[in-house]
Amino acid sequence: MPTFPRALSDCFKAVFNPSTPALQFALKNMLGGGLALYLAFFLDMQQPQWALITVFIVNQPLSGMVLSKSAYRLLGTVVGAVVSLGMIGLFGQTPWLFLPCMALWLGVCTAGASLYRNNASYGFVLAGYTTAIVALPSTAAPLNIFDQAQARFFEITLGIVCASLVSTLLWPRRIERQLALQARGVWQSGMTAAASELLGVDPRKGLLGALGRIVSVDSQRDHAGFEGPSGRLRAQALRVMNRDLLSLLRVSRGVARLRLILDQASGEYVDPLIEGVAQALADGDEAALDRQALALDERLLVTGLDPQVRACLMRMALVLRLATVAIQSLKAVEQGEPVSNVPGPLAWHRDIEQGVMSGLRSALAFLAVTGFWVFTAWPAGLGAVSSCGVVLSLFAGREAPAEAALNFLKGIALSVPVAALVAFGLLPGWEGFPMLCLGLGVPLFIASLCLSQPGIAAIASAFCIFFVTNVAPANVMSYDFDQFLNKALATLFGVGISVAVFRLVTLGPGLRHYRRLVEASLADLSRLTQRPLEQAEGWFGGRMADRLMRLAQLRTQQPDEPNPHWHNGLYGLDLGGELLHLRGCLTEASGPSARERDRYLHDVAHLLKQAPPTPDQVTRLDEPSVQLLKVLDADTRMTTRRQELARVAVLQLQFLWRRWCHSCPPSR
Q: What CATH code is carried by the domain that includes residue 196?
A: 1.20.58
Domain shared by 293 and 361, yes or no: no
Inside any domain, residue 577: yes
Inside any domain, residue 85: yes
Q: Which helix (H) or strand (E) holds 41?
A: helix 20-42
Q: How far apart are CA 476 and CA 33, in angstroms?
A: 19
For residues 123, 126, 131 and 133, what is the CA-based torsion angle, rounded to 10 degrees?
A: -170
Q: How far apart are CA 381 and CA 334, in angstroms?
A: 54
pLDDT for res 71: 82
Label residue 421 by pLDDT band (50, 70, 90): very high
pLDDT in tens, 463-485: 998 999 889 888 777 788 888 88
pLDDT in tens, 318-372: 999 999 999 999 999 888 888 888 887 788 888 888 888 888 888 888 888 888 7
Q: How far apart are CA 593 and CA 399, in angstroms?
A: 48
Tell me which DSSP letter residue 530 carries. T
The phi, psi pair for 341, rounded to 5°, reads 55, 50
State the Rg of the chain over Cα. 29
Inside any domain, residue 343: no
* Percent of the chain predicted with pLDDT > 90: 15
Higher pLDDT, 25 or 119: 25
Label residue 556 by pLDDT band (50, 70, 90): low
Q: How far apart are CA 106 and CA 360, in angstroms?
A: 9
The SS3 call for residue 509 is coil
Domain shared by 152 and 210, yes or no: no
Domain shared by 493 and 531, yes or no: no
Residue 611 region, left (φ>0) first, then alpha (ψ -120 to 50), else beta? beta
Q: How far apart are CA 663 and CA 326, in angstroms?
A: 35
Domain shared by 75 and 134, yes or no: yes
Rounded to the nearest integer, the mean pLDDT of the chain is 84
Q: How far apart are CA 267 and CA 274, in angstroms?
A: 10
Domain shared by 655 and 633, yes or no: yes
> Which residue, among 249, 195, 185, has the nearest Cα to 217 in the 3D structure?
185
Does 562 have pLDDT greater than 70? no
Mean pLDDT of 566-576: 86
The DSSP string of 146-160 is HHHHHHHHHHHHHHH
Choose the final residue of a domain: 335, 359, 374: 335
Does 261 have pLDDT greater than 90? no
Does 204 have pLDDT greater than 70? no
pLDDT for res 510: 64
Inside any domain, residue 29: yes
Maximum Cα interatomic distance, the chain, rounded to a whole number of Å: 96
Q: How far apart are CA 224 and CA 235, in angstroms?
A: 6
Residues 6+ apart with CB under 8 A from 557: none
Alpha helices (runs of H) in 610-639, residue ranges in sequence order: 622-634
Domain shared by 298 and 264, yes or no: yes
Does 502 have pLDDT greater than 90? no
Inside any domain, residue 668: no
Q: What angle do CA 82, 88, 89 make, to 5 degrees?
A: 85
Q: Which of 24-28, 187-191, 365-369 has the lowest mean pLDDT?
A: 365-369
Q: What angle do CA 290, 574, 659 make, to 5 degrees?
A: 130
pLDDT for res 241: 92
Tell me which DSSP letter residue 666 carries. P
Label residue 32 by pLDDT band (50, 70, 90): very high
Q: Residue 81 in contact with residue 130, Cβ under 8 Å?
A: yes
Domain shared by 104 and 127, yes or no: yes
Q: How far apart are CA 152 and CA 437, in angstroms?
A: 22
Q: How far apart are CA 300 and CA 322, in angstroms?
A: 18
pLDDT for res 1: 54
Q: 112: number of CA atoms within 13 Å, CB side?
A: 18
Inside any domain, residue 341: no
Inside any domain, residue 513: no
pLDDT for res 248: 92
pLDDT for res 320: 93
Q: Residue 624 in contact with residue 529, Cβ under 8 Å?
A: no
Q: How far apart are CA 145 and CA 283, in angstroms?
A: 64
Domain shared by 537 and 650, yes or no: yes
- The total of other beta-carbon atoms located within 10 Å of residue 503's CB is 13
pLDDT for res 445: 93
Domain shared by 307 and 374, yes or no: no
Choose the final residue of a domain: 308, 335, 362: 335
Domain shared by 165 and 25, yes or no: yes
Tell me which DSSP letter residue 143 carries. G
Inside any domain, residue 512: no
Domain shared by 106 and 30, yes or no: yes
Does 203 have pLDDT greater than 60? no
Mean pLDDT of 492-517: 79
Cα of 452 vs its chain's centroid, Å: 21
pLDDT in tens, 398-409: 777 888 888 889
Does 433 have pLDDT greater than 70? yes
Domain shared by 618 and 526, yes or no: yes
Does 559 have pLDDT greater than 60? no
Mean pLDDT of 121-128: 83
Q: Work out the angle between the directed axes of helices 145-169 and 118-134 (0-180°, nearest 10).
A: 140
Choose the final residue of a domain: 450, 474, 504: 504
pLDDT for res 558: 57
Does 101 have pLDDT greater than 60? yes
pLDDT for res 341: 82
For the chain, the domain total comes to: 3
Q: Which of 98-102, 201-205, 328-332, 523-527 has the lowest mean pLDDT?
A: 201-205
Residue span of the structural domain in which 329 resides: 175-335
CA distances from 180 to 186, 242, 243 (A): 10, 13, 16
